[in-house]
Structure 1
Amino acid sequence: MLLFIKKCTFQSNLYFCKRLFSCSTARKEKYNNEYILDSNQTLVLRREDAKFLKVAIVGLPNNGKSTLINQLTKRTVCPTSSKVHTTMHKFETVYSENDTQIVFMDTPGLTAPHEMKKYNLAKTFKNDPAESIAEADVIGILQDVTNIFTRVKISDIILDCLKSKRDDASLLLILNKVDKLKKKVTLLEIINQLTNKSLLKFDDIFMVSALTGDGVDDLRNYLLDSAKINDWQYEKDAFTDQSLETVIEETVRAKLLDHLNQEIPYNIKTKLEHFDISEDGTISAVVLLKCNKKRNVFCLLKQKGQPLKTIAMAVEKELRNAFRTHVIVRLSVETDQPKEEQAK
């Protein structure tokens, strides 16, 4: 049985790679493609008249970075939830349109050193934003205009990360959640304070609602126009640098954060136990939720497992949008207590 599962996993991964990163002779002839190694020994795609742009979106936790990137790329690839620290490490999400490719780098929310120590956060919370800024052609600083404590000042944590910015990189100020402001004149006040009091020089300013999509088209068009003649980093059909398995696990974790109260979802570990892609493209997955407390299991399995079913349905909806195919997800629960299991 174990050998069979491993064989299926290998075949599914191979199918997925061919599907997303295929470079058939017909495609090469159509686009006049060739693959080369850049100075960092990274495989890049060279095609005639290609334009490329790498964009880093940075900001404080829960400012809406992942939601904005999902809107910009028109796919829900980046995990999102209403709680902080949903994004644990850098995600690269790819958007290709005509002759232009944009790679968006989603990063963990910038966190003060004492908070990292207090909550035992991974080093990625410190390293990934700085590394993304160093790679980026365009850097977008995302400000939550509904947070009255942080909206009129660029955080010192952000300023410190911007030290790794290239001299030729553009800097954008992106005001998010503008749909929630009752008085629109407040936006002008925020912009005045951010531009007059900050030492940063912004190349442009955008006002968006990542949740509703307002203003996102203008930002996307600006970035498409900003792309320079350069080799593509990904094939046309690619949409992320993450494996399919990682996207599934991270989406499950994000939906746990959305549907469970307080600290409970942070204590649940996710593990992909089964993964398969059928001939018609349907993706099937079984994800194990490992709980270290009996009350966490109860929260998932109460009311005949209704919370577990609700979470599974939310995960399927997100993944269908991300992968553009039918997705079936089953969740099972395991604990150190006597084993209980409930599948969708």
Structure 2
Amino acid sequence: MAAPMSMRILVKCNSKLSWGHVKRILNFQRLNVKLYSTEPETSDISNTAFHDFPEFHTEDRRVCFTDGEQFQKLMLKPNQPENAKTLKVAIIGDPNVGKSTLTNRLLKHKILPVSRKANTTRKNTLLVYTEDEYQIEFVDTPGILEPRAKERHHVPSSMAISPDKAASEVDLLGVVVDVKDKFRRNTLSKTVIKILHLHRDVPSILILNKVDAVVNKTVILNSIASLTNKRLGQQKIPVQKYKKTHELISEKQQENFIDSVIANYKTKSGANRSPTESEGDSSVGMVGEGQGTEEGAGKESEHDQWRKYLQRLQKCPDSTVENTGWSNFQDIFIVSALKDDGVDALRDYILSCAKPGNWDYHSSVITCESPNTLAENIVWEKMMDFVKFPVYELEPKITELQWNGNIYWLEIKMDIKCPNKFVQAEVVKEMASIAEEAKAELRSLFKFNVHLKLRVLVKK
């Protein structure tokens, strides 16, 4: 065995190692890394014995390598301080409005799959953000679909009812709207309004996303008036102020005016009060119809759950959906999740809403999702980006995930099952791009070099 080598000599002898990989090897002292002057021949790599994964450390706030390590983390006793505070937040909204991108930014980790196509998120995903004495549990949800759209796009019932389930289990709802979309930025969908009505005892905030793509910022004020039914909290919005915005020429003037108007509304309406105060007219509908409706849902079929969900939506009075928005938003935030603009203010607000309580997870936990699922989601994300037609029927599944202790990388093998040979041929055309992009994302996710092998098959 040779003595430890310098970085330059190491790269020269190990041509397949990148500079970033070498730096991680030299700096990651916990692995007790031993560097060798020679690299195994390419023909021998496939026969190299796979050793145990790196030692588990409870203070590491990172994505786990294996389900066993993930289970260890989830079983750890929460290491909360004496003044611990907690809050559960669900991010809901129409498809493709940037919910997952925003949640990743709030978490400060890229965990959730993100794509330009709608319905990339297929189920509720729990993510945990821990800072000082605060622990915030974010629930990212699939896009809310109208019942007819669900049938038209053949979306599974479990996916369609996931946002409603999340809303019944959280302390705060964040409703995301794509302010760039001129067809949807002034109106909440009927199903979104109905879900807000069913869970009207849960405080909610309005989040206008993709503001970086809006050239004329004055349209944001019109969206705010429409989405809040010209009210913020219980204070009526003076719409006549919007008439003055045509005099604001520069973009900075427009932004300053919008900020001052919103701040004025908050001051008058008392919208900065704690969101624990219940809003809405309790005389409409049943007091508890938004909670505990899915008890025993695991024992029911998807069809029965979907039927009950439709029945609950139908109970909402017609007057609820006659408006273009929701009158009981506690606060409004204008952000660009893609540019990470305004996200810090939103995160600070969420932290301020946290209440004293016990943490549910150890501070090292980021998500409850299996590492295999996270890796499969990344490949799914890249397929959504590169394959031209919808890939909802494709099923990437990991067949092998191992740690190569000799060359210090993760070996991931994955099968992509296609419904027919035509789809298989289309996926194979883009396989080089999919594999390259997915490998880069996996490296970022696991913080280690990754060797990815993808195989495209046809379902039997």
Q: 1:142 aligns with which of 151, 176, 180?
A: 176
- In the other structure, the counterpart of 1:130 is 164
- In the other structure, the counterpart of 1:319 is 442
- In the other structure, the counterpart of 1:273 is 399
Deviations 1:67-115 (A, max 9, x none): 1101111111111111111111100111111111111111110011112
* Counterpart secondary structure, 2:168: helix
CA distance in 2, matches of 1:154, 1:297: 38
1:237 aligns to 2:339 (yes or no)? no
- In the other structure, the counterpart of 2:86 is 52
Given the two structures, how large is their TM-score scaled by the length of structure 1?
0.81
- In the other structure, the counterpart of 1:14 is 68
1:312 maps to a residue whose letter is A
1:75 aligns to 2:109 (yes or no)? yes
In structure 2, relative to structure 1, the CA distance for the partners of 1:288 and 1:50 (3 Å cut) is same
* Counterpart secondary structure, 1:203: strand
1:190 aligns to 2:223 (yes or no)? yes
Q: How many residues align?
A: 305
CA distance in 2, matches of 1:229, 1:282: 42
1:108 maps to a residue whose letter is P
1:332 aligns to 2:455 (yes or no)? yes
CA distance in 1, matches of 2:336, 2:166: 23
Deviations 1:198-228 (A, max 9, x none): 3422111111111111111111111112111
2:438 maps to a residue whose letter is V
Report % sequence identity.
Answer: 33
- In the other structure, the counterpart of 2:155 is 121
Displacement of 1:232 in angstroms is 1.1
CA distance in 1, matches of 2:109, 2:448: 12
Aligned ranges 1:1-344 → 2 under 5 Å: 12-18=66-72, 20-21=73-74, 23=76, 34=77, 47-165=81-199, 167=201, 169-195=202-228, 196=230, 198-263=325-390, 265-278=391-404, 282-302=409-429, 307-335=430-458
Deviations 1:140-163 (A, max 9, x none): 110001111211112111011123
Q: Whose strand proportion is higher, 1 or 2? A: 1
Paired residues of 2:100 and 2:114 also in contact (CA < 8 A): yes
2:68 maps to a residue whose letter is L
2:454 maps to a residue whose letter is L
Deviations 1:22-58 (A, max 9, x none): 73xxxxxxxxxx56xxxxxxxxx76522111111110
Displacement of 1:266 in angstroms is 2.6
Unaligned runs of 5+ in 2: 1-48, 54-64, 231-323
Given the two structures, how large is their TM-score scaled by the length of structure 2?
0.62
CA distance in 1, matches of 2:372, 2:155: 23
Paired residues of 1:133 and 1:164 also in contact (CA < 8 A): no
CA distance in 2, matches of 1:231, 1:326: 37
CA distance in 1, matches of 2:362, 2:449: 22
Displacement of 1:336 in angstroms is 5.7
Q: Which has the higher contact order (CA 8 A, sep 6+)?
A: 2
Paired residues of 2:74 and 2:368 also in contact (CA < 8 A): no
* Counterpart secondary structure, 2:219: helix
Choose 80-89 or 272-281, whichever is displaced more.
Answer: 272-281
Larger Rg: 2
CA distance in 1, matches of 2:144, 2:214: 24
- Calculate the aligned-residue CA RMSD, in Å: 2.5
